[in-house]
Amino acid sequence: MSYAIKNIRNICLLGHGGNGKTSLAESILFMTGSTDRLGKVVDGTTVSDFDAEEIRRKISIADSAMFCEYGGMKINIIDTPGYFDFAGEVSQALRVADAGIIVCSAKDGLNVGAEKAWKMLNESKTPRAIFISKTDEENASYERAFNSLREKFGVSVCPMVAPIMDGDKITGLIEVASKKAYSFDAKGKRTEIPVPENMKATLDNLYNTLAEGIAETSEELMDKYFGGEDFTPEELRTALAEGLRDCSICPVFCGSAFTFLGISLLLDAVVNYFPCPHEGGKVVDESGAPAAIIYKTISDQYGKFSLFKVVSGKITNEMTLINPRTGTSEKIGHIYIMQGKKNIEVNEIACGDLGAVSKLSDSKTGDTLCSSSFNKALPGISYPAPCYSMAIAPKVKGQEDKISAGLARLAEEDLTFTYANNSETHQLIISGAGDIHLDVLCSKLKNKFGVEVVLSPARVPYREKIRSKVKVQGRRKKQSGGHGQFGDVWIEFEPQNEPEDLIFAENVFGGSVPKNFFPAVEKGLRESIQKGVLAGYPVVFLKATLVDGSYHPVDSSEMAFKTAASLAYKAGLPQANPVILEPIGYLKVTIPDSCLGDIMSDLSKRRGSPMGMSAHDGMQVVEAEVPMAEMSSYAIDLRSMTQGRGSFTFEFVRYEETPMNIQQKIIEEAKVLAEDAE
């Protein structure tokens, strides 16, 4: 069935891992008749967590799309992961959702996941509401949770629903805007009941809090509020809808996913207050030429599914669309709507709705598909840069190609990790958001592509240079029947500061080395500098000047002079005061004020040099230069020091001399590596 755009709602569920997003989605689907049983995370039976890794770990790893029908509306629900390693999935969901619901626990209230979700919603300018879950569990406190959220996020946080308490037990809920009270049966069906006497004062307080938030939305309502007048139901509904749309109001609901408490009140609000796609500001034109944005790719052994949102016109099967990024045409064959892992084939996807298409040949997540008359790329999806790198290798030698093939397939659906061969360290480096992210990728390589891998620290690409000038001879003389080999050079080696690794010059008088052998000398040196004399790392900032030598008219050859140059290199560099250089990176770390002391102390342990501090958006931004060798575990350590609130960027800036005590360790490690390689 195709829905008019005004009857579609696209929402995504966000928040900390374990706060009940997946259970809330499951409860909504079951209560609306979209599923015939209530799945549970612990049993691995939920609609949204269908990946084998999600079932095994009992957490959401990828976002998943579902839908239900309620009050004559189609509500698309995107369940997103709460673990920070999978924040890229949240970015994808926010690209197409018209509103977000932050799920918080009544036990915890404000937590890091809620803060991060709020920040991402702010950045994408997406309307939001909050659902306080698990209100009927032991040690839960709606009031404590609500107050912590309002204290952090301000007066825009408005109470819509509150629990009716009988001791420690919830007996019903109050809907604040209508001042009505309800009890709920085991299936979530509500029955109106009188507002208990002991709740009337609480209701008045909550209504005043809501009215205060609503009054902020217009001068007219502000005047009415300060005049002591009540708002009409229509004024409340209009103000809530407008306030939600422009993010000046964040309504707060509560209940329980397991007992269906308050689910119908949340769904009523989604239908009555939440923006439809043309109000969500995500570029929608119902009567325009067909266009859609791909927000997710699912790649498995059966092929590739591309999930999309229609932002203009409608998409029908057998249609041909173009991809403006590649300029290629894509034949739209079978199209579907998604219910978790279940795909339901349809003939068309209406404007504002979510759908999926199989077997696109040349399109990826973030791409636009459109008709030739539309023909423009819509804004894509920006992901956080990978910040945690490890070397990845097969447990069984000879399976390197299998790893690369598997990672290439996984990269089709996960654009938040990268992998590349480091020709210098001879390691395949995989970079992602953190240790859990890489662990999941390794598990998928094993389960989907049959290759077991091991992770190890990525080796640091050190360099070597000399600090003093030296003049040495390199002499190659070999006589063993027939033509011999003779090459004789005197070379001056000295440090230089130009960006070239090697500056080769010649200052030979009288033809002691013929000009035709100069290129061979240079080639011998360029090959030699690939391996330094201390720990085998490439040599940089070197100047080599050929100053003298001798030759034999018969036995001299290019090979002989190339060898003579390398002998001069091996003899000269150990005498020229060599040193190991380490890469230094520029670190920019954003943290709460309360973590500043821990961060500065940690930077000192990492041999970091602070360069400045500034305040930004309620956080401290610390800038420093830190050796790359000290940063391998920083993503995990920063998360621990800031309880997940910190973030950072880190990029290479230059090489610097390594302290002698560190240099000795590098040389010893290089010896061990060389012995292992033999």
CATH of 580-662, one of 3.30.200.20, 3.30.70.240, 3.40.50.720, 3.30.565.10: 3.30.70.240
pLDDT confidence of residue 292:
96
pLDDT confidence of residue 49:
79
Which tokens hold the place of 84? 């920070």
> Which backbone phi and psi does 229 adopt, to 5 degrees?
-90, 145
Q: Is the dihedral of CA 597, 599, 602, 603 positive or negative?
A: negative
pLDDT confidence of residue 678:
58
pLDDT confidence of residue 656:
94
- 348-389 pLDDT, tens digit each: 999 999 999 998 988 999 999 999 999 899 999 999 889 899
What is the 8-class DSSP label of residue 377? P
Mean pLDDT, range 284-297, rounded to an integer: 92
- 97-116 pLDDT, tens digit each: 999 999 999 998 899 999 99
Q: What is the 3-state secondary structure (H, E, C) of 171-202?
A: EEEEECCCCEEEEECCCCCEEEECCCHHHHHH
Minimum mean pLDDT among 16-25, 97-106, 190-199, 293-302: which range?
293-302
The CATH code of the domain at 388-457 is 3.30.70.870
Could you tell me which residues come within 8 angstroms of residue 132 by beta carbon, excluding any fewer than 6 positions away? 104, 105, 106, 109, 142, 145, 146, 149, 252, 253, 254, 255
Residue 317 · residue 336 · CB < 8 Å: no
Question: Residue 404 — very low, low, confident or very high, per pLDDT cuts 50/70/90?
Answer: very high
CA distance 161 to 174: 6
pTM of the full structure: 0.87
pLDDT confidence of residue 229:
83
Q: Which residue would you say has higher pLDDT here, 82 or 367?
A: 367
Residue 572 · residue 491 · CB < 8 Å: yes
Check whether 454 has a pLDDT greater than 70: yes
Distances (CA, A) of 409 to 77, 98, 364, 454: 26, 30, 12, 19
Question: Residue 677 — very low, low, confident or very high, per pLDDT cuts 50/70/90?
Answer: low
Q: Can you list the positions of beta strands (E) in 260-416?
A: 291-300, 303-312, 315-316, 319-322, 329-332, 335-339, 342-346, 348-349, 354-358, 368-370, 388-394
Identify the CA nearest to 59 among candidates 72, 74, 48, 71.
48
- Where do the structural domains in the chain lie, given as residue ranges? 5-279, 291-370, 388-457, 464-576, 580-662
Class of the domain covering 464-576: alpha beta
Residue 345 · residue 357 · CB < 8 Å: no
HSE-CB for 103 with a 13 A CA cutoff:
28
Burial state string for 163-182 with b = 16 or more CB within 10 A and e = fewer than 16: bbbeeeebebbbbbbeebbb
pLDDT confidence of residue 157:
92
Residue 286 · residue 5 · CB < 8 Å: yes
What is the 8-class DSSP label of residue 540? -
The CATH code of the domain at 5-279 is 3.40.50.300
Q: What is the 3-state secondary structure (H, E, C) of 42-82?
A: CCCCCCCCCCHHHHHHCCCCCCEEEEEEECCEEEEEEECCC
Residue 76 · residue 346 · CB < 8 Å: no
Identify the CA nearest to 433 among candidates 390, 475, 493, 387.
387
pLDDT confidence of residue 663:
94
Check whether 511 has a pLDDT greater than 80: no
Q: At what angle do helices 435-449 and 400-413 cross, to 10 degrees?
A: 110
pLDDT confidence of residue 232:
86
Class of the domain covering 291-370: mainly beta
CA distance 1 to 347: 9
Residue 26 · residue 47 · CB < 8 Å: yes
pLDDT confidence of residue 481:
62
Check whether 234 has a pLDDT greater than 70: yes
Task: Tell me the one-letter amino acid at 561.
Answer: F
Identify the CA nearest to 307 among candidates 315, 299, 298, 316.
298
Check whether 1 has a pLDDT greater than 90: no
CA distance 253 to 24: 12
CA distance 559 to 541: 26
Minimum mean pLDDT among 213-217, 316-320, 490-494: which range?
213-217
Tell me if 388-457 shares its fold with 580-662.
yes
Question: Residue 517 — very low, low, confident or very high, per pLDDT cuts 50/70/90?
Answer: very high
Whole-number mean pLDDT of the chain?
91
Cβ neighbours of 536 (radius 10 Å) = 15
DSSP β-bridge partners for residue 159? 252
Residue 433 · residue 84 · CB < 8 Å: yes
Question: Residue 95 — very low, low, confident or very high, per pLDDT cuts 50/70/90?
Answer: very high
Mean pLDDT, range 275-287, rounded to an integer: 83
- 524-545 pLDDT, tens digit each: 999 999 999 999 999 999 999 9
Residue 478 · residue 443 · CB < 8 Å: no
3-state percent helix, strand, coil for the chain, nearest multiple of 5: 30, 35, 35
What is the 8-class DSSP label of residue 14? E
Chain centroid, CA 560 distance in Å: 54
Residue 357 · residue 318 · CB < 8 Å: no
- 563-622 pLDDT, tens digit each: 999 999 999 999 999 999 999 999 999 999 999 999 999 999 999 999 999 988 778 999
CA distance 589 to 621: 6
Mean pLDDT, range 277-282, rounded to an integer: 80
pLDDT confidence of residue 392:
96
Mean pLDDT, range 230-241, rounded to an integer: 88
Distances (CA, A) of 458 to 99, 390, 391, 615, 668: 41, 5, 5, 33, 17
What is the 8-class DSSP label of residue 659? P
Minimum mean pLDDT among 45-49, 185-189, 298-302, 429-433: which range?
298-302
Minimum mean pLDDT among 134-138, 282-286, 354-358, 592-596: which range?
282-286
Check whether 482 has a pLDDT greater than 70: no
Q: What does the CA dihedral 649, 651, 654, 660 come to, rounded to 10 degrees?
A: 60
